[in-house]
Amino acid sequence: MTTKLTVTRPGALTTIQDAGRTGHAHLGVPRSGALDAPAMHLANRLAGNPEDTAVLETTLTGCALRPDADVTLVIGGAPCRVTVNGIPAPWGTPVRVPAGATLDAGPATAGIRSYVAVAGGIDVPPVLGSRSTDLLSGLGPAPLAQGDLLPVGGAAHATPPALPAAAPWPAPPAELVLPARFGPRSDWFTEAALRTFLTATYTVSVHSNRIGLRTEGPPLERESAGELPSEGMVLGAVQVPPDGRPVVFLHDHPTTGGYPVIAVVPEPALAAAAQAVPGTPVRFAPC
């Protein structure tokens, strides 16, 4: 019999994520997947799962679940208060949740996105090889709603591996420093704009989401006033819309776009962007 988790509190935005669906950009399908992949990987390892097993990605306010059989869960990523039937439980290490008990991952106390890994994984049907929710294209399962039933994979009762005394969870960034490599459209900007890009301090905008990290700060002036035909976009592309303020594309980004891309941020640097709260200072540094 398949173990199921009942969603008793979905939170502001909780989605199912794994490593994402690669190889479909030519069809207009974004990659999607966990924004903070290292946090997903560590939570899964602590739960005894392969690193890319499907997990829950919460946003700011966490979520609550009630299993119909005993399960082991790990909550990592953004720190939060964890309770089982109202009794405090540890964050960042495995928690055994009895059948019928309510596991509550509370609001993030730092950062934005917490990850809930259950031993056995969230076993919803894959779409194009991934169980990830894609908010831009609408592929994959819908964001969690109250009363949803989430099936758990067959290893739900497995014993997690022996653990170190303390798992190395990184802290959310007090300042976000993003390495960036100029191109492919840096020649569309003035020399002054290129200097500003690498020297100014921006802040994370409240309008950031899984599609892109938007910034507030000095606008970047164009050298060219023309318009581009739509061209391919990659994860980490730094696009500059008409207001002149950089947008760093994250995992649900569109696969094409017409605004010029001044630079690209390497993928390993994007995990910190997933945890940068609005108002966090942002600087771009040359690779």
180 shares its domain with 135: no
For 123-134, give the DSSP string. -PPPBTTB----
For 222-267, give the DSSP string. BS----PPPEE--TTEEE--TT---EEE-TT--SEESS-EEEE--G
Question: What percentage of the chain has pLDDT greater than the value 90?
Answer: 86
23 shares its domain with 138: yes
Q: Are 221 and 192 in contact (CB under 8 A)?
A: yes
> What number is the average pLDDT over the span 179-198?
96
CATH no. for residue 253?
2.40.100.10
Q: Are 220 and 238 in contact (CB under 8 A)?
A: no
Q: Is 50 strand, coil or helix? A: coil
Q: Is 183 strand, coil or helix? A: coil
Residue 142 has pLDDT above 50, yes or no: yes
**What distances in angstroms separate CA 260 from CA 178, 193, 282, one per listed residue?**
19, 13, 20
Provide the domain count of the chain. Answer: 2
Q: Are 103 and 66 in contact (CB under 8 A)?
A: yes
51 shares its domain with 99: yes
**170 domain-assigned:** no
Question: What element of type H or E holds 23?
Answer: none
User: pLDDT (tens digit, 9 = 90+) per residue, 11-49?
Assistant: 999 999 999 998 888 888 889 999 999 999 999 999 999
Amino acid at 96: R
Residue 165 has pLDDT above 50, yes or no: no
48 shares its domain with 130: yes
User: pLDDT (tens digit, 9 = 90+) per residue, 109-119?
Assistant: 999 999 999 99
Q: Give the range of the structural domain holding residue 133, as residue numbers without chain letter.
A: 4-151
Sign of CA dihedral 9, 13, 18, 24: positive
What ranges in the chain are assigned the alpha helix state H? Answer: 37-47, 191-199, 270-274
> What number is the average pLDDT over the span 217-233?
90
30 shares its domain with 97: yes
pLDDT for 158: 52
